[in-house]
Structure 1
Amino acid sequence: MSDVELRAEADAVLARLVGRAGAEARLREDQWQAIEALVVDHRRALVVQRTGWGKSAVYFVATSLLRRRGAGPTVIISPLLALMRNQVEAAARAGIAARTINSANPEEWGAVQAEVAAGDVDVLLVSPERLNSPDFRDTVLPSLAATTGLLVVDEAHCISDWGHDFRPDYRRLRTMLAELPADVPVLATTATANARVTADVAEQLGTGGADALVLRGPLDRESLRLGVLELPDAAHRLAWLGERLGDLQGSGIIYTLTVAAAEEVAAFLRQSGHRVASYTGRTENADRLQAEEDLLNNRVKALVATSALGMGFDKPDLGFVVHLGSPSSPIAYYQQVGRAGRGVDHADVLLLPGREDAAIWAYFASVGFPPEEQVRRTLAALEQAGRPLSLPALEPLVDLRRSRLETMLKVLDVDGAVARVKGGWTATGRPWTYDAQRYAWVARQRETEQQAMRDYVATTGCRMEFLQQQLDDEKAVPCGRCDNCAGPWLDTAVSPQALAAATGELARPGVEVEPRRMWPSGMQAVGVDLKGRIPEAQQATVGRALGRLSDIGWGNRLRPLLAAQAPDGQVPDDVLAAVVTVVADWARSPGGWAAGGADAVARPVGVVAMPSRSHPQLVTSLAQGLARIGRLPLLGSLTYTPQADELAAHRSNSAQRLRALASSFSVPEDLAAALAATPGPVLLVDDYTESGWTLAVGARLLRQSGAGQVLPLVLAVAG
């Protein structure tokens, strides 16, 4: 077949894919160049092109052409469920049978694998996490590698830990690439890779060298108009959005930096009359599907989302993207704003930075790759076990939260130091070197990226050109559209009514604090005889906090008050007054002591304080103030045991925290006597709760000493 005939065949597939004919259904020359390299030359290619360029068209058209020529199914490594759903629907339009294997459809895996084996599947979309599943890796992956006609790595920047969204599961692709026959083409695609990430991805995919094809295009997005609105505080930002959301074109996405902020903003916008939904890592899968459908069909004005709604969500007519708070990286920002304006001539992109942004960046930066000592301890624990250890079994033996521990193990797996097998993880015994220089460089890179976001806000130059330069786009020129090129198109004014409503919403105090009901597994392995369900007679009740450290209301007030370097002192009057409001609302809520009813908690008979090393005056004065205003006796405080100092080292997972806390507190004689003399529920006061284990241990001790129900009350919830 001639090149002309092959090109015509490719254009016909594209016409079915996009549902149009004529000039609109002709591949561009750069798209055809990639397809030709895959189908005719069977090469490996890395495509770095802006969002909306048509990367999915390349691999679907190539799939159709290859399948007609007898090739096996295309395997697409795809990172997000929303992206997979979009891709399955797009494939169907082109007559391509696509199936998925991911965490949301385990009940379908057997049937999907049977369809693949029968040759009935043209495209198999696989989440990167499946590559490291022992069953999939050992039973499915070898046959896939032997029969694959095209391997596609979507969002390939995730491979590189120089990039903004490194995912260690992607590194498993090295194994699959090594097992592919030499003539199987490979396509890696991304819209967000600077020069260093491009080189790193190419090297890891085996696409470096003279035979590699790297297609890198200009990253300007002609449909996007970028702007920054600097407003005085969170209330002004929320008020502005409440008043102006209806003026923005079409429907869109409002990004926040935290789950708490997304839920908070969505609640306010609904109260302001807007149809919105929140979309975060806490959102149930069914609710996510419904939210995506509602946005795709314009049944909501916006989704208020964290980065959980990110790569690959495809709504061509998305009219706007607003960020309440700056992402920590210009590259991440470019990717998220790339959701807008893919199929329309004009879309607005607005950034409303906040004072709290840096504190949130710092938190996320703190959960990077662990220090060498923690890694070595984990390897030693696996070696000493002599058998596979699951995450719950390993967690009590190391000083890492489960999510961070799992990420670290995936990196070690790729490096060959550990292996994931049935039953858990084992140490391989292979030599392993901690690449301190690389990890330090990555940390410095994060700091550089954060400064770049500050520079983006402050720049008087073209904003699109700034972002393109951050991605090493050599064709970056002023766009002529952004607020710096063409002038601001929106003012920052908000009405007194809107500001009052937003201020009231953000000032509304009170967050429920769920008590711990189960002890962590594996405590016996670290010498603590606690297991299973916490007896009801030793549990705390559902408690209350003034706010979350991650929200944009009380969080902005509490973060500087509770920061590690903050000076200790008396509880501020406005904070005490707000806590009193929380207690009053608590009393009137269903189940509260003022509400009555068979299940109501009895009125507290006294106040007990937790001891604090970082904020002793703050906690004591808070307890004293509540006792005074509530006309309750201050019964006393728990105290630290002599071994508490020895156990006070930071413990980041539940088992290690509880190990440290279980022997760190005691009930002094005067408090025990006060509890015996004043039986009934008590308020247990502390500055903040992160894991809930301090409150759980304190409640257990108080109830064992004769207290009735224990009602935890803290200033802040860490999450």
Structure 2
Amino acid sequence: MTTATTADLRDEAERLLRVLAGPDARLREDQWTAIEALVVGRRRALVVQRTGWGKSAVYFIAAKLLRSRGHGPTVIVSPLLALMRNQVSSAERAGVRAATINSGNVTEWDEIHQRVAARELDVLLVSPERLNNPDFRDQVLPSLAADSGLVVVDEAHCVSDWGHDFRPDYRRIRTLVEDLGEGIPVLATTATANDRVVSDVATQLGVGGTETLVLRGTLERHSLSLSVVRIAEATQRAAWLAEHLDELPGSGIVYTLTVSAARDLASLLADRGHQVAAYTGQTDAAEREVLESDLLNNRVKALVATSALGMGFDKPDLGFVVHVGAPSSPISYYQQVGRAGRATDSAEVVLLPGPEDQQIWSYFASVSFPREHIVRKVIDVLETERPQSTMALEPLVELGRTRLELVLKVLDVDGAVRRVRGGWVATGQPWSYDADRYGRLEAARGAEQRAMLEYERTDECRMMFLRRQLDDPGLDGDSYCGRCDNCTGPKYSTDVAAEAVADTQRRLDRPGIDLPPRKQWPTGMAKLGIDLSGKITDGPEPGRVLGRLSDLGWGQRLRTLIGGSDAPVPDAIVDACVKVLASWDWAERPGSVMCVESPTHPALMRSLTTRLARVGRLSDLGDLRVQPGHSPASTANSAYRVAGLVNAWETPDLSGLDRPVLLLDAVTDSGWTLTMAARAIRRAGAPSVLPFALATPK
């Protein structure tokens, strides 16, 4: 291309940018370098630039320029629905015909496939999960791989298992890149990648010996003011936020580590008069869209969210990000706080860490990739011809649904299994368990957690600390931000008014949450030799739990109680249990009480049973005792759990009972112990069972 033609191309790119970003917008040099490499050089490029830099402008402009020159549509692999909605809207402003295929628009898939075939689209956005949907993979993807004008991998750190948000589905992108037609350019973008992730992603883009152009800029964010407010007690942290939320600029996001914490904190803040709402992975897709719109249009002060409100949510004037509980990685933390202050002069970023954070990190680490013998069991039970669904596989392996799906996706990418219509099949290809890599990953995660704890305690510039964790190429010895609490002095006091703490405590101390009964037996029990299927007709009634181990109010006390040494039940716990029982709207009051024998807390549960019997004037039926020599039930998945609880208890003599039995347990997680125990009690003569547990993990 001649110099004059190159100049014309840049002028055209500048015009498109002004349509996208406003009349005063000008291309950054690295933006133009990337666009030129894609449109003129037909190269593969990795752009690592901070949030708000304009990465999406690069691929939308490149897509439009390539399309106008007769090339095929651009395929953008994008991880979240919020990101897709924002990007389709941005594309339309620039005259780019865009559509998205995701779980929220299933009814439109056939029409979109037809538009792709008819070359009526400029841009197609797909979720990474779609890349291995059998219909999409076999019918749509081959033509896209052969005819695309450009392939874009957004949030590209997900490609790397060293990234903070690694997703198995993203590993299929390497295969997609390998199958591309000759000369099809590829662009990968992310705001959060350290040296190791950059190297890994660049290597995956460069399959076949193609060199990857890496354009990497500084991660300095001049608008962010970082602070850490260290308050050890959970109730005081919640009270502090309720007192200070209105002082924070504009509207923003309050992140929590768990779904229950998001719900509890949103409820507390709403009770205190704040306009907030909870947003989690369990929020309905349609409701998520409404909540995102409420935040974008400042109809709420904050969304109290888990990481489900993650990559791609774009509100340029977001005024603050608060974390009640620290993420396990400084890289993940930087990625989340980077949503604030993208188009404002200043934004507040506040971290309220807690001593329970590390326990939550450990829990999430415990559901990572399993050990080799478990993975090989998955391969062994798969057939090569007859597909088996995830649901059908679950009772055959000691894995819960979420971890089983993770294993299947990784094995699919590794070539050992394949997803087809109707489920999964084994390929018969040899597979090796990369223990060294998983060990290195585990060590890297541990190092990240230690770095996060160091961030909380450090007295150096906090922005410089985060930039160093991401190997920021623009970092030098004088890169002090001059805005964080360590550079300027603490901005926020840790003091909380005593009456505010007391009010928060009263609100959080309302004990009791519902415990819905299990209604359906796990599928495939017959494969384990157990004759249980269909609806559960002999289980417990709806029950109650005193509180969650992750609750802001009861969590810390329950973790101390359940995690500590066995001892008689404290008076405060008994009083709280009595409050829950007094407010229980049962159809018929229980006439007796019994507890599931506890191997770890016999004194706690026996004393609780005795005292509740006395207060409620109930007959104490003693413990439901475990059969001698009975092995503990596996907690891996529902089918194995139920199988391990069949005939687990001695049969008590409950003949003559004419009123419900109140059944106590220390902790309920899956609900199967109380279900199977209630079944045993009913078969022994009880007319019905009302389950009650001290705690549930979530």
TM-score bracket for this pair, using the shorter chain length: over 0.9
Which one-letter code corresponds to 1:152 in the other structure? Answer: V
Does the aligned pair in 1 maintain the 2:82–2:312 contact within 8 Å? yes
Q: Which residue of 2 aligns with 1:9?
A: 12
For 1:128-139, list aligned pairs within 5 A.
Answer: 128-139=128-139
Does the aligned pair in 1 maintain the 2:205–2:212 contact within 8 Å? no
Q: Which secondary structure state, in structure 2, belongs to the residue aligned with residue 318 of structure 1?
A: coil
Among candidates 573, 578, 581, match of residue 583 of structure 1: 581
Among candidates 480, 494, 498, match of residue 496 of structure 1: 498
Deviation string 1:289-324 (CA, Å, 9 cap, x unpaired) is 110000000000000000000101000000000000
Does the aligned pair in 1 maintain the 2:543–2:691 contact within 8 Å? yes
Alpha-carbon shift at residue 643 of structure 1 (Å): 5.3
Alpha-carbon shift at residue 475 of structure 1 (Å): 2.1
| Aligned mates of 1:412, 1:663 — CA distance in 2 | 36
Deviation string 1:93-151 (CA, Å, 9 cap, x unpaired) is 11111100011111110011111122221110000000111111111111111111100
Among candidates 510, 513, 518, match of residue 512 of structure 2: 510
Q: Work out whether 1:652 is the aligned partner of 2:636.
A: yes
Which one-letter code corresponds to 2:458 in the other structure? Answer: T
Alpha-carbon shift at residue 387 of structure 1 (Å): 2.3
Does the aligned pair in 2 maintain the 1:159–1:171 contact within 8 Å? yes
Does the aligned pair in 2 maintain the 1:46–1:207 contact within 8 Å? no
Which one-letter code corresponds to 2:569 in the other structure? Answer: V
Does the aligned pair in 1 maintain the 2:178–2:207 contact within 8 Å? no
Which one-letter code corresponds to 1:55 in the other structure? Answer: K
Among candidates 582, 589, 603, match of residue 589 of structure 2: 603
For 1:384-395, list aligned pairs within 5 A.
Answer: 387-395=386-394
Alpha-carbon shift at residue 572 of structure 1 (Å): 2.2
Between stretches 251-260 and 443-452, larger displacement belongs to 443-452
Among candidates 616, 627, 639, match of residue 602 of structure 2: 616
Q: Which residue of 2 aligns with 1:596?
A: none
For 1:241-640, list aligned pairs within 5 A.
Answer: 241-383=241-383, 387-476=386-475, 477-535=479-537, 538-563=538-563, 566-586=564-584, 592-593=585-586, 601-640=587-626
Does the aligned pair in 2 maintain the 1:465–1:479 contact within 8 Å? yes
Which one-letter code corresponds to 2:449 in the other structure? Answer: Q
Q: Which secondary structure state, in structure 1, belongs to the residue aligned with residue 568 of structure 2?
A: coil
| Aligned mates of 2:470, 2:133 — CA distance in 1 | 33
* TM-score between both structures, scaled by the size of structure 1: 0.94
Does the aligned pair in 1 maintain the 2:224–2:341 contact within 8 Å? yes
Which one-letter code corresponds to 2:648 in the other structure? Answer: S
Deviation string 1:405-450 (CA, Å, 9 cap, x unpaired) is 0011100111111111112111112111111111111111111111
Q: Which secondary structure state, in structure 2, belongs to the residue aligned with residue 292 of structure 1?
A: helix
| Aligned mates of 1:275, 1:154 — CA distance in 2 | 33
| Aligned mates of 1:399, 1:571 — CA distance in 2 | 34
Q: Which residue of 2 aligns with 1:111?
A: 111
Q: Which secondary structure state, in structure 1, belongs to the residue aligned with residue 235 of structure 2?
A: helix
Between stretches 568-577 and 340-349, larger displacement belongs to 568-577
| Aligned mates of 1:660, 1:651 — CA distance in 2 | 9
Q: Work out whether 1:678 is the aligned partner of 2:657.
A: yes
Q: Work out whether 1:27 is the aligned partner of 2:30.
A: no
Q: Which secondary structure state, in structure 2, belongs to the residue aligned with residue 25 of structure 1?
A: coil
| Aligned mates of 1:216, 1:551 — CA distance in 2 | 41
Between stretches 554-563 and 121-130, larger displacement belongs to 554-563
Which one-letter code corresponds to 1:487 in the other structure? Answer: G
Alpha-carbon shift at residue 663 of structure 1 (Å): 2.7
Task: Mark the CA change 1:397 to 1:386 in structure 2 (over 3 Å): closer, same or farther.
Answer: farther
| Aligned mates of 2:610, 2:196 — CA distance in 1 | 57
Task: Mark the CA change 1:208 to 1:224 in structure 2 (over 3 Å): closer, same or farther.
Answer: farther
Does the aligned pair in 2 maintain the 1:651–1:660 contact within 8 Å? no
| Aligned mates of 2:517, 2:404 — CA distance in 1 | 24
Does the aligned pair in 1 maintain the 2:49–2:55 contact within 8 Å? yes
Q: Which residue of 2 aligns with 1:187?
A: 187
Deviation string 1:169-193 (CA, Å, 9 cap, x unpaired) is 0111122111111201000011111
Which one-letter code corresponds to 1:569 in the other structure? Answer: A
Q: Which secondary structure state, in structure 1, belongs to the residue aligned with residue 382 of structure 2?
A: helix
Alpha-carbon shift at residue 614 of structure 1 (Å): 2.1
Alpha-carbon shift at residue 689 of structure 1 (Å): 0.6
Which one-letter code corresponds to 2:271 in the other structure? Answer: Q
Deviation string 1:323-343 (CA, Å, 9 cap, x unpaired) is 000000001000000110111
| Aligned mates of 1:636, 1:475 — CA distance in 2 | 68
Alpha-carbon shift at residue 644 of structure 1 (Å): 1.8
Between stretches 249-258 and 193-202, larger displacement belongs to 193-202
Task: Mark the CA change 1:395 to 1:172 in structure 2 (over 3 Å): closer, same or farther.
Answer: same
Does the aligned pair in 2 maintain the 1:91–1:97 contact within 8 Å? yes
Does the aligned pair in 2 maintain the 1:605–1:682 contact within 8 Å? yes
Q: Which secondary structure state, in structure 2, belongs to the residue aligned with residue 687 of structure 1?
A: strand
* TM-score between both structures, scaled by the size of structure 2: 0.97
Between stretches 264-273 and 628-637, larger displacement belongs to 628-637
Q: Which residue of 1 aligns with 2:627?
A: 641
Task: Mark the CA change 1:208 to 1:198 in structure 2 (over 3 Å): closer, same or farther.
Answer: farther
Does the aligned pair in 2 maintain the 1:73–1:148 contact within 8 Å? yes
Q: Which secondary structure state, in structure 2, belongs to the residue aligned with residue 677 of structure 1?
A: coil
Q: Which secondary structure state, in structure 2, belongs to the residue aligned with residue 240 of structure 1?
A: helix
Identity of aligned residues (%): 60
Q: Which secondary structure state, in structure 2, belongs to the residue aligned with residue 544 of structure 1?
A: strand
Which one-letter code corresponds to 1:620 in the other structure? Answer: R
Does the aligned pair in 1 maintain the 2:178–2:208 contact within 8 Å? no
| Aligned mates of 2:130, 2:170 — CA distance in 1 | 10
| Aligned mates of 2:435, 2:566 — CA distance in 1 | 36
Q: Which residue of 2 aligns with 1:142?
A: 142
Does the aligned pair in 2 maintain the 1:75–1:150 contact within 8 Å? yes
Does the aligned pair in 1 maintain the 2:598–2:605 contact within 8 Å? yes
Does the aligned pair in 2 maintain the 1:44–1:207 contact within 8 Å? no
| Aligned mates of 1:179, 1:393 — CA distance in 2 | 32
| Aligned mates of 1:392, 1:641 — CA distance in 2 | 31
Does the aligned pair in 1 maintain the 2:390–2:401 contact within 8 Å? yes
Alpha-carbon shift at residue 666 of structure 1 (Å): 3.2
Which one-letter code corresponds to 1:511 in the other structure? Answer: I
Does the aligned pair in 2 maintain the 1:207–1:213 contact within 8 Å? no
| Aligned mates of 1:304, 1:207 — CA distance in 2 | 41
Which one-letter code corresponds to 2:446 in the other structure? Answer: E
Alpha-carbon shift at residue 649 of structure 1 (Å): 5.1
Alpha-carbon shift at residue 209 of structure 1 (Å): 6.2
| Aligned mates of 1:138, 1:576 — CA distance in 2 | 60
Does the aligned pair in 2 maintain the 1:513–1:717 contact within 8 Å? no
Q: Which residue of 2 aligns with 1:700?
A: 679
Q: Which secondary structure state, in structure 2, belongs to the residue aligned with residue 350 of structure 1?
A: strand
| Aligned mates of 1:208, 1:35 — CA distance in 2 | 22
| Aligned mates of 1:693, 1:433 — CA distance in 2 | 35
Q: Which residue of 1 aligns with 2:647?
A: 663
Aligned residues: 692
Deviation string 1:623-657 (CA, Å, 9 cap, x unpaired) is 11211221211112222124522xx2533111111
Structure 2: give runs of 5+ residues left out of the alignment. Answer: none
Alpha-carbon shift at residue 492 of structure 1 (Å): 2.1
Between stretches 117-126 and 255-264, larger displacement belongs to 117-126
Does the aligned pair in 2 maintain the 1:703–1:709 contact within 8 Å? yes
Q: Work out whether 1:711 is the aligned partner of 2:690.
A: yes
For 1:79-94, list aligned pairs within 5 A.
Answer: 79-94=79-94
Which one-letter code corresponds to 1:658 in the other structure? Answer: V
Alpha-carbon shift at residue 211 of structure 1 (Å): 2.8
Deviation string 1:56-105 (CA, Å, 9 cap, x unpaired) is 01001111111110111110000000110110111111111110001111
For 1:94-109, list aligned pairs within 5 A.
Answer: 94-109=94-109
